[in-house]
Structure 1
Amino acid sequence: MKMKKRNILLVLLMTVSFVVHAHGDKQKDKGMLKGLDTPAAKVVLAFHEALETSNKELARAQLADDVTIYEGGRVERSADEYAHHHMLSDMKYLAAMKSETLEHQVTVLGNTAISASRSHTTGSYKGK
């Protein structure tokens, strides 16, 4: 995949971002959901869908080896680091929670893509 060779910078605000669901309020969507038709965004969305369905192989395949993932105040500096440290816990969390994407913007700058999203998440995980 062409995008796999590009540096993809995932900025995950809050805990994690999720696949964008259609919203009825078109006015709200104009500014809050941008760049989702780009090849980079399609990779990001496929990655999040793989996380939601606990598909480890597909999730890892979507990430460039040198990806940087910012999530919840922490940083993972490679796809392997994320896969070994955080990916499985993200999958378990997503399986237990319900989330709605409030905002998701993907910006492509040369061979780097920045994906930033904000979500409202509800549910119970590990007794919280």
Structure 2
Amino acid sequence: MKIITALFFSVATFSSIVFAHGDKHQNDALFKGLDSPAAKVVVAFHEALKSGGKQQAQDLLADDVTIFEGGGVERSALEYAQHHMLADMAYLSAVDSQTLEHQVEVVGTTAISISRSHTKGVYKGKERDYESMETMILELQKGSWKIIHIHWSN
């Protein structure tokens, strides 16, 4: 419970810092912290999903990652790799996605990545055109950043 409370406080504080600048500095805050090693893991994960790199994507996840998507939950990297990852890869290879904003904040051995993107294209004969949001929490484990939680929503 302490970890969840601390992460909630960190996300709330991070969100208020990022979005409290007003219109004058809004663009400066839309992309932040992307040179950090943790941010590079997030980008590599997205690239692996888009290119069909199943093993590369799985290697960036903590073994006990929790993934919330579409009202469902997957509770390990293996579960995700055996189920929903392949559908995500097929979908992402068929549509175009543009990142509208992405901020990564590193606090000690924890990193929080929040982003918003616009996706457009045709998948399984249906037009897709929407904005989505993503939150990832990463943890430094044995010298490598691993994704420990993902929450995707439209």
Structure 2 residue runs without a partner (length 5+): 1-6, 8-24, 127-154
State the alpha-carbon separation in 2 of the partners of residues 73 and 31 from structure 1. Answer: 30
- 1:76-108 per-position Cα deviation (integer Å, ceiling 9, x unaligned): 322112112211111000111011000112222
Q: Which runs of 5+ in 1 are unaligned?
A: 1-8, 10-26
**Secondary structure in 2 aligned to 1:67?**
strand
Q: Which amino acid is the alignment partner of residue 46 of structure 2?
A: H
Residue in 1 that maps onto 2:47:
49
Aligned residues: 103
Which of these two proteins has the greater Rg computed from alpha carbons? 2
Distance in structure 2 (CA, Å) of the matches to 1:69 and 1:34? 24
Q: Please state if 1:98 is matched with 2:101.
A: no
Which string of whole-angstrom CA distances, capped at 9 and with x for unpartnered residues, describes residues 51-94 of structure 1? 11101111111112122333344333221121122111110001
Matches within 5 A, 1:27-106: 29-106=27-104
RMSD over aligned Cα atoms: 2.0
Give the TM-score, by structure 1 length. 0.70
Matched letter for residue 93 of structure 1: Y
Instruction: Indicate how the Cα distance of structure 1 residues 73 and 110 shifts in structure 2: closer, same or farther if over 3 A, else same.
Output: farther
For 1:101, give the aligned amino acid.
T
Deviation of the 1:28 alpha carbon: 5.8
Secondary structure of the residue aligned to 2:34 is coil
Please give the alpha-carbon distance, in whole angstroms, between the structure 2 residues aligned to 1:57 and 1:113. Answer: 22
CA separation of 1:72 and 1:29: change in aligned 2, threshold 3 A? farther
| SS of residue paired to 1:43 | helix
TM-score scaled by length of structure 2: 0.59
Identity of aligned residues (%): 67
User: Match of 1:115, as an amino acid?
Assistant: S
Say if 2:118 is the partner of 1:120.
yes
